[in-house]
Structure 1
Amino acid sequence: MRVPVRRLFFCLIIISRAMSGAAKLKSVDYEVFGRVQGVCFRMYTEDEARKLGVVGWVKNTRQGTVAGQVQGPEDKVNSMKVWLSKVGSPSSRIDRTQFSDEKEIHKLEFKGFNTKY
C-alpha cells in the first residue's frame, strides 16, 4: 500500500511538533536560608515535591540552612522553586533562597524525592 507523499509529510510535521513540545527536563540545586530547621521544612518539601511530581532530595546543613536538588519538567521545577522561595512549611521563615547549577538534563537521576541525613 502506497501512502500519498502529502499525507506522509503532514504526519511528519505533526510528529515533529509533538516532539518539540515535549517538556524539557531541568535540574537545579537550592539552599534555603532563614528559620528552616526544626520547623518540619524537609517534610513539607518532600510532600510538595511529590505533589508536583518532581524528584530529588533535601537535607539540613550544618550552617542551619536546608539544601537539596530538584529535577523534573521545567514548569514543575519552576513551581517548586517558587514554593522554596515563598511558601515553605507553616512555621518556617524564608529569608532567601539561592539556586545554582540550573541546567537542562536528558533524564532524571532520581526515582523519587527523599530526605538525606
Structure 2
Amino acid sequence: MYTEQEGRSLGLSGWVQNTRRGSVIGQVQGAAGQVDHMKEWLRSVGSPSSRIHRAVFSNERDLKEPEMKGFITRH
C-alpha cells in the first residue's frame, strides 16, 4: 500500500507484489528522475513495517512512452 502510494505520488506507472519469500517484486515506469527517486525510496525508506536488506533493480531500459497506466498492488 505504501509503495503504491509513493509510486502514484511521483506520477509513475507500474505494479508491486509481495512474494511468498517475503520479498517484493514489481515494475516501475516514468520519467527518469522520478524513477530514480522511487528507487532511492525503495532502497532506504519503504513501507513502515518493512525491513530492507537489499534492493536489486534489473532489466532497466528507456521507453518513449509508458507501457502501463496507473500504479497498483498485485495480489
Structure 2: gaps (5+ residues): none
What does 1:1-117 align with in structure 2 at a 5 Å threshold? 43-117=1-75
TM-score (norm 1): 0.62
Paired residue total:
75
User: Separation in 2 of the partners of 1:62 and 1:109?
Assistant: 27
Letter in 1 for 2:9: K
Letter in 1 for 2:10: L
> Which has the higher Rg, Structure 1 or Structure 2?
1
- Percent identical pairs in the alignment equals 57
Structure 1, residues 12-38: CA drift from partner, whole Å, max 9, x if none? xxxxxxxxxxxxxxxxxxxxxxxxxxx
Larger relative strand fraction: 1
User: Separation in 2 of the partners of 1:61 and 1:90?
Assistant: 18
User: Separation in 2 of the partners of 1:64 and 1:114?
Assistant: 19
The alignment partner of 2:21 has SS state of: coil
Structure 1: gaps (5+ residues): 1-42
User: Separation in 1 of the partners of 2:4 and 2:31?
Assistant: 17
Q: Stretches of 4+ moved more than 6 A in 1? A: none
Higher relative contact order, structure no. (Cα contacts within 8 Å, ≥ 6 residues apart): 2
